[in-house]
């Protein structure tokens, strides 16, 4: 196995992925090992400022390592862009923090139906006063 490095990959599906990767030569059939891959999309807001949108490559998986064959990759390039790597690492740290998960303390305290009933009762009370 080779050494790990930060890489931007363009897949045949059209996705652009940023990941810490390692290439395993595996008997002449290389496999790319992706660690915490994310989709990176550069955007510009209405004032002309550029920013990067990052989201998980595979959103419903709890795994953080994935394998893809080299034939699924159009191109790949190592990145040494310090700002991009910092944003990526900050994203990973932020998402690993359990306090960011929704909880009753964050406002999710009822179902839609229960919230509707509560609002109707509040509205009726305000009309009676």
For the chain, domains (ranges, CATH) are 5-103 (2.30.30.100)
- Residue 25's pLDDT is 84
| Strand intervals (E) in 4-114 | 5-11, 16-24, 31-44, 50-56, 65-69, 73-78
- Is residue 16 within 8 A of residue 8, CB to CB? The reply is yes
- Residue 126's pLDDT is 80
Burial state string for 50-84 with b = 16 or more CB within 10 A and e = fewer than 16:
eeeebeebeeeeeeeebebeeeebeebeeeeeeeb
- Is residue 9 within 8 A of residue 75, CB to CB? The reply is yes
Q: Residue 61 — φ and ψ, nearest 5°?
A: -100, 145
- Residue 12's pLDDT is 96
Name the CA dihedral angle for 4, 8, 10, 14, rounded to a multiple of 10 degrees: 120
Q: Which ranges of the chain have pLDDT less than 50? A: none
Rounded Cα gap, residues 34 and 12, in angstroms? 16
Rounded Cα gap, residues 129 and 123, in angstroms? 10
Q: How far is CA 72 from the centre of its chain?
A: 20
What is the percent of the chain with per-residue pLDDT over 90, rounded to a whole number? 41
pTM for this structure? 0.67
Rounded Cα gap, residues 109 and 125, in angstroms? 21
- Residue 59's pLDDT is 87
């Amino acid at each position: 196995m080779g050494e790990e490095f930060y890489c931007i990959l363009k897949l045949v599906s059209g996705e652009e992925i940023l990941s810490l990767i390692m290439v395993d030569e595996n008997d002449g059939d290389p496999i790319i090992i992706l660690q915490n891959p994310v989709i990176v999309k550069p955007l510009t807001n209405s004032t002309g400022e550029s920013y990067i949108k990052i989201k998980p490559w595979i959103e419903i998986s709890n795994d953080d390592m994935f394998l893809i064959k080299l034939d699924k990759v159009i191109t790949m390039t190592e990145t040494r862009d310090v700002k991009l790597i910092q944003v990526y690492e900050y994203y990973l740290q932020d998402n690993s923090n359990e306090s960011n998960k929704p909880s009753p303390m964050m406002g999710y305290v009822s179902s839609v139906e229960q919230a509707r009933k509560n609002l109707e009762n509040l509205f009726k009370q305000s009309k009676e006063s």
